[in-house]
Amino acid sequence: MNSEILIASPIVSVEWLQENLSATNLIVLDGTINKVFDASQNQIPNTRFFDIKKKFSDVSNPFPSAFPSAEQFQNNARALGINKNSAIVVYDDKGIYSSARVWWLFKAFGFNNVAVLNGGFPAWLNAEYQTEPMTLYKGDLGSFEAKHQPEFMRFFEDVKKISKEKTHKIIDARSENRFKSLEAEPRAGLRSGTIPSSVNLPFKNLFKDGLLMQKDELIPIYNTLANQEEDIVFSCGSGITACVLALGAIISGYNNISVYDGSWTEWGSLVEE
């Protein structure tokens, strides 16, 4: 295949990616969080490393993986050779974890021709598809344009108001034990607890055999917590796995959704209860 592609779904299979690897506008991104360049590691052919922590987060923010400015996002996306007409597939090495954050960031900056690879790199390896040593992108600058869509992300003052006035359903992606304060938070010194009026949907509940469930399996899970007309804010520990819930929600037909960027790390640090 040598033509340009338009990605119709927010999620694609490894079989789909294998069939479309030669599409002229395809860009594959490795969005594994906390990863550093290592030529001894393997990647899907022609992958470009999307460095969430250092390149696509506001590193001046005291909280981790904070939402970047449009200028920062645009400049670093262009440095990866991403164009206005690119078709992006993003994966990570856990299955679907931080790749959903990358997908959501692109959407938050007005770019929709992007999808998450279902099952991520583990599924690619399980299918025994070709890999190559990790390489740094050194090609041309892209023409990507970031157009901030403010409704995609919520911040501390937004969520304070939402929690108090109960205008949105707040759904927390952390594990049940963390949500119920039965297990300590992984971030040192961070108190346990929950955002008032929030409910729990552990992001791992959306998976079966390492793959995100099908739409007809996801819909009943979401429907127990919110109807499709409700406004929803997804939260988690630091704004990463909340995006996994956003991915499942979009697939399930929910549209009025946003992600709380600072999530529990910010809330638990700033609010004493």
Q: Which residues are marked as active site?
A: 236
Number of C-alpha atoms within 13 angstroms, CB side, residue 62? 5
CB 50 within 8 A of CB 56: yes
CA-wise closest residue to 259 among 113, 34, 104: 104
CB 185 within 8 A of CB 236: no
Give the number of other Cβ atoms within 10 Å of residue 117's Cβ: 27
**Mode of pairing for the β-strands spanning 42-43 and 132-133:** antiparallel
Task: Decide: residue 136, CB within 10 A, 0-12 exposed, 13-18 middle, 19+ buried.
Answer: exposed
Which helix or strand (DSSP H or E) is residue 132 part of? strand 132-133
